[in-house]
Every structure is written in C-alpha cells, then in structure tokens.
Chain A
Amino acid sequence: MDIILQIIVSGLLIGFVYSLIAIGLTLIYGVMDIVNFAHGAFLMLGMFTAYWLNQLFNFDPLLSLPISIIAIYLLGWLSYKFVVNKVLNAPPVAQIFVTFGLMVFLENLALFLWSPDFRIIKDTFVSGDFNIGEIMFNIPKLIAALGSVLITGAIFWFMSKTRTGRALKATAINRDAAKLMGINTDKMFALAWGIGGGAVGAAGALLTNFYYIFPTVGATFNLLAFVTVALGGFGSIQGALVAGLLIGIIENLAGVFIGPAFKYAVVFAIFILVIVIRPNGLMGGK
C-alpha cells in the first residue's frame, strides 16, 4: 500500500511540472491552431538560462526563475513575430514544419555551442528529502511542483479575470468575431507565444534543481508535452492540467511495475489507446 501511495506522490510532483509545460503548448494551440514543435527546445533553453546564470553569477535556480520566465517569454514572442507570423495563411503542412524547423535549429545550435555533455547545478538552495510516515518527499521536486502550481494558478487567473486574458480566450473561440469586436488578434497571437514560452521557461528553471541539463533534454519533454496535450484535448488548459498529473502517475507506476526502461513506452501506448477511443482527448471540445 505504501508503495502505491509513494508512486502517486512522486507521480503528482512531476505531474504538476508536466502540466505546466503542456499548458504552455496547449495555450498556443488553442489560440491559433498551430502546434509548437519547438516547445521542448524552449524548455531546454530555459534550463540553460538557469545553468549559465548559476555558472557565471552563481545565481540559485530559484533566483533565476523570473529571469528564465522573461527570457523564454521573449523567445516565444520573437518566434511568433519573425517566424510563425509568416505562415498564418500557409498550407497546414507548412505550419507543422515551420516550428519543426525551429526545433531542429535551436536544439542543434545548443549542441554545437555547448556540446552534448550532461550538466548539473551543484549546491542548490533546495535539496534533500523528508518523510511523512513512510512516504518520502524529495524537496527539489516538491518545490518544482509548488512553483508549477503557482504559475499554473497565475495563468488560470490571468485567463479568466483580466481583460487581456478574456480577449485571448475570445480569440481562441472565434478569431474573426474577436477581430470584429476590436481585439488585435496579431497581438493576441504574440501574447500566446509569449505566455507559452514563459510557462515552459519557468518549468525549465524549476527542473534544474534536480534534472540534468543537456541540449537534447527537450526531446523527451516535448513528446510528453504533446501526449499530455493530446490526452487532455488540444487547446484545453484544464485538460492539460489533469492529463499532466495522470501521465506523472502512469509513468511512475510503469517504472516500478514494468521497468524503468519501459516507462515512456507505456505512456505512449496508453496515449495511443486513449486517442483512438476518444480522439478529442479527455476534455477536448473542438
């Protein structure tokens, strides 16, 4: 029984981070129907932002968190302004491949500049474990989960309580109607890319407390984020939140009962099963 509880706790902790990453992805998709294949590369750059701030100025990852959010927000915004902007009316295939090209570009640029080495940030402010009964809590993971919850909450608040957030939602529901109501949709698209980037930048900085940093780190997270988004339903923020937690738990269950090598294979298998049975995902309305 304890092992099951432990698996659920560990799964939820990493699951909140998965949710945050997926929310960034699904937000962009929801607002403009474009899948950002470079999302994992954004995450990797968020991690490297925290890493280099630590190496150069001895910043703790938690101190780097706001800087990483801003840096990747800007990266997302720039990606929209200079790249994605150009394919808004292009055939769907071009829309798929443009962010795919961006991913290949960013990931390999990082490989070229920083080598494929695995790096780690030493002596972080948060470290170690504590126990409640038989259940062990890893403090860096707990902090990452808490940070993810806070930022997820902030995004929810922004989307439902502010005028700009509601304008963003309106653009997602009906682009043309939103435009007729005087919403500058181009600005909204750029904002969605910014927030999507900011979310994943935050996740990146939080991950550096306990995860290796390397140029291809985004690949696995990218796939998991896609799976999360598809499972939750493309464009559904609530769906991404729930799916992220589910995937965290499934991954841990599979890791313990089937073997660590197979944990992602099991996640993918369940993903395929779910989308075949319910192609719109758990909470997708579209």
Chain B
Amino acid sequence: MNKKLIFLIVAVLILFFLPLIYKASFFIHVLILIFMFAMASQAWDLVGGYTGQISFGNAIFFGIGAYTSTLLYMHWSVTPWIGMLVGGVVAVIVALIVGYPAFKLKGHYFLLATIGIGEIIRTLFLNWPAVGGAQGIFIPFEKESFWNFQFHSSKLPYYYIILTLFILTFLVSYFVEKSKLGFYFKAIREDEDAAKAMGIHTQKFKFVAFAISAFLTAITGTFYAQYLMYIDPNSVMPFMLSTQIVLVAILGGMGYLFGPLLGSLVLIPLSELTRVLLGSSGSGFHLVIYGLLIMLISMYKPAGLAGWIQEWNFNKKKAAGGEVDGTTINS
C-alpha cells in the first residue's frame, strides 16, 4: 500500500513539473485534453463501468455545465467558478429527470433512451434563440485572472486547473470504489435482480451514480467552455462527444480506477498526432484507428488496458508463487 502511495505522489509531482520542463504550447494543449477527457470519462465510468448502465448521453451534462456557467457569466457576470458549481447542480437535476424514465429500462433500451434524450436536448438548444441557438455563444474576453477563469498569455493555468479537477474526480472514484457505495454499484452491474434480492435499493443507487457522474461531467463542460471561449450545441453536446467519452473508458478498461486515464493517454495523443501529421485531409483518421482499436479490444481484451495490465500482474505474481489477492480480478 505504501509503495502505491509513493508511486502516486511521484506521478503527481511529475505531472506538475512536466509542462515547466517541456514548454511547447501544443504539448500543454494535448496534456489539457488528456486530463479533460480522462475526467469526463472517469465520471462516465461511475455509471457505465461500475453500475453497468451504458449511457450514450453524457454529453448533455457536459453541455449543461458549459451553458450554465457561460449564461450566468454573460447575463449576471457571475464568475465561472460559481457557475461551474451551479452547472453541476443543474446537471444533477437534469440527471434525476432523465433517469426517471431511463432507469425503468435495461441494457440496449437504456442505451437507446440516453441517445434519444441526448438528441432531444441538443435539438432544443439548437433552436432556442435565448441561448444562442445554432450560432453559439462567444465568451467575451476579460482581464486575465483566476477569478475570471481566463488566461490569455499562457495555457499553463488551464493545465493546473484541469489536473486538479481530474485528481479530485479520481479521488471521488477512489472513495466510491472503497466505500459501500462501490459495492452496491458493482452488485447492480453484475446482477440487478440478485442485488435487489439482497436488499439493495437498486433504483436509488442508480440515481446516485448518475447524479455524481452528471455533476462531475458538467464541471468538465464549464472548464471546456472557459478554455475554448466559445460554445455551441454541436461542440458541447453532440452524440460524437458522448461517444468519445465512452470510447476512452472502454479502451482503458471500464470499472477500473485507472481505466479512463489509460484510455485517454492513448487516444488523445493519437487523435492530436494524426491531426498534425495528416492535416485537414486526414481529419477523422484517428477515428478510423479508434474504431479498429475498439473492435480489437472487444474481441480479445474486453476488460481494456487496465484489465490487461492487472491480468498480467496477476499472472506474474502467480508465477512467482507469491500471495495472490483473489479479489483483484473482476472481469
């Protein structure tokens, strides 16, 4: 355990100093995207990976976060930091409303319902003039400051903010996994009827998972809005964004604490690199590779990269004749 803690502290320190050593703006941009997707995906994993309810509509929470903070700022000059929290609360309320019909459904039906609801909400925003409609909203430039959540001279502050937010999200996942809540979630994933028979209020805990997931995803959305300074329904709540969030988690390993980060570490640099190498003619080529990777992972390693690493560790320990903790394999 102590070894693990030291490893984590070293990792965080490296992440903290990395952009100070290698300062290229593009490099920092990629790091920011990595942690942004890792965070959204980690939030998704609480409901998708741990509780087993595959949502393809998480982009709506992302969008709600982005829109809430932006609108509060535009109309009442509320700092995005407060807007971020309000956005989280709004997302939780929407999650509870959406969950009401959606959680009556299982498997494919739940998945389809989340896609449908996502498309309905996106359509509403596209045709709603008060929130900028299809044209979207430009966030006006203000003086660079932490309070304004705007930094123009360097990307570094954005990096440290998203790194911190990601670590907080990771800690939430960690404590959920270690607590009774995590066991409830996993019990629902493995066999909902059995979980119910054991006295777990399955419906309630699905709502809990969805609400935490929505809150954290909305916070990612606010960050994204402040980072790009422009939002519209097709960039902050499209189906493709929901998909990307899910892809990161599948590749990394659903239901594993490190899964989303691993997935993000592979997929985001891949997409940014192909964008640079192939230019605009190759736009979308990274998705060709994504598609192939997802197929291969599903066919040969359904537990994702994190599952693969754990399996490898497990076999190594077993080969060495050491003590094996049987509970760590949970494919």
Q: How far is the CA of A265 from the CA of B118 in the complex (A)?
A: 10
Q: Which residues of A contact B108 (CB under 8 A)?
A: 35, 96, 230, 234
Cα(A115)–Cα(B233), bound, Å: 23
Instruction: Give the interface SS of chain A, mostly helix, strand, loop or mixed.
Output: helix
Indicate which residue in B111, B116, B290, B292 contacts A271 across the interface (CB closer than 8 Å): B116
Per the 8 Å Cβ criterion, residues 89-120 of A in contact with B are 90-98, 100-109, 111-112
User: Of A94, A109, A276, which is within 8 A of B105 by CB?
Assistant: A276
A97→B291 contact, CB < 8 A:
no
| Least CB separation from B299: chain A residue | A86
Chain A residues near B105 (CB-CB < 8 A): 275-276, 279
CB pair B124 A275 closer than 8 Å: no
Contact B299 A272 (CB under 8 A): no
Check if B107 is an interface residue, CB within 8 A of chain A.
yes
B288 within 8 Å of A by Cβ? yes
Q: How many A-B pairs with Cβ below 8 Å?
A: 125
Tell which of A86, A101, A105, A262 has the most Cβ of chain B within 10 Å: A101
Asked if B101 is at the interface (CB within 8 A of a chain A CB), the reply is yes
Q: What's the interface size class on A, roughly?
A: 35 or more
The chain A residue sitting closest to B49, CB to CB, is: A93
Which residues in A have their C-beta under 8 angstroms from that of B290? 101, 104-105, 108
Does B324 reach chain A (CB closer than 8 Å)? no
A102 to B, closest residue via Cβ: B295
Q: Is the CB of B299 within 8 A of A93?
A: no
Shortest distance from the beta carbon of A111 to any chain B beta carbon, whole Å: 5
Quick one: given A96-B111, A276-B101, are A111 and B124 in contact (CB under 8 Å)?
no
Closest to A112 in B: B285
Whether A105 contacts B288 in the complex (CB less than 8 A), given A262-B123, A268-B117, A276-B104, comes out as: yes
Given contacts A104-B290, A106-B291, A219-B239, contact A87 B299 (CB under 8 A): yes
Q: Does B47 contact A (CB under 8 A)?
A: no
Contact A97 B298 (CB under 8 A): yes
- Give the distance to chain A from B248, nearest Cβ to Cβ, in Å: 12
CB distance from A269 to the nearest CB of B (A): 6
Q: Which residue of A lies closest to B52 (CB)?
A: A93
> Is B109's CB under 8 angstroms from A279's CB?
yes
Interface code A29-45, partner B: CB below 8 Å = 1, 0 otherwise?
A: 00000010000000000
Per-residue contact bits, chain A 64-105, to B (CB 8 Å; 1 contact, 0 not): 000000000000000000010011001111111110111111
The verdict on A104 contacting B126 (CB below 8 Å), with A92-B107, A275-B109 known, is no
CB of A221 within 8 Å of the partner chain: no
Q: Is A91 within 8 A of B282, CB to CB?
A: no
Give a binary string over A132-158; 1 marks a CB under 8 Å from any B CB, 0 the rest.
000000000000000000000000000
Contact present for A91 and B302 (CB under 8 Å): yes
With an 8 A cutoff between CB atoms, is B115 at the interface?
yes
Q: B284 contacts the other chain (Cβ, under 8 Å)?
A: yes
B257 touches A (CB below 8 Å): no
Does A211 count as interface, using CB distance less than 8 angstroms?
no
Answer whether A275 and B113 are a contact pair too, CB < 8 Å, given A101-B295, A101-B298, A105-B295: yes
A101 touches B104 (CB 8 A): no
Contact (Cβ within 8 A) A102 B111? no
CB distance from A14 to the nearest CB of B (A): 19
Asked if A227 CB lies within 8 Å of chain B CBs, one says yes
Contact partners of B113 in chain A: CB under 8 A: 272, 275
**Inter-chain contacts of A95 with B (CB < 8 A):** 298
Expressed in whole angstroms, the Cα–Cα distance for A226 and B127 within the complex equals 25
Give B295 Cβ to nearest chain A Cβ, in Å. 4
Task: Considering the complex, give the chain A residue whose CB is closest to the CB of B282.
Answer: A112
Complex CA distance for A150 and B302, rounded to whole angstroms = 41
Q: Is B261 an interface residue (CB 8 A)?
A: no
- Find out whether the CB atom of A90 lies under 8 angstroms from the CB atom of B298: yes
- Asked if B126 contacts A94 (CB within 8 A), the reply is no
Give the shortest distance, in Å, between B56 (CB) and chain A (any CB): 9
Chain B interfacial positions (CB closer than 8 Å to A): 52, 54, 101, 104-105, 107-109, 111-113, 115-117, 119-120, 123-124, 126-127, 239, 243, 247, 250, 254, 282-285, 287-288, 290-300, 302, 331
6 contacts between A and B (CB under 8 A): A87-B298, A104-B294, A107-B287, A265-B119, A265-B123, A272-B116
4 interchain residue pairs of minimum CB distance: A105-B291, A101-B294, A104-B291, A101-B295
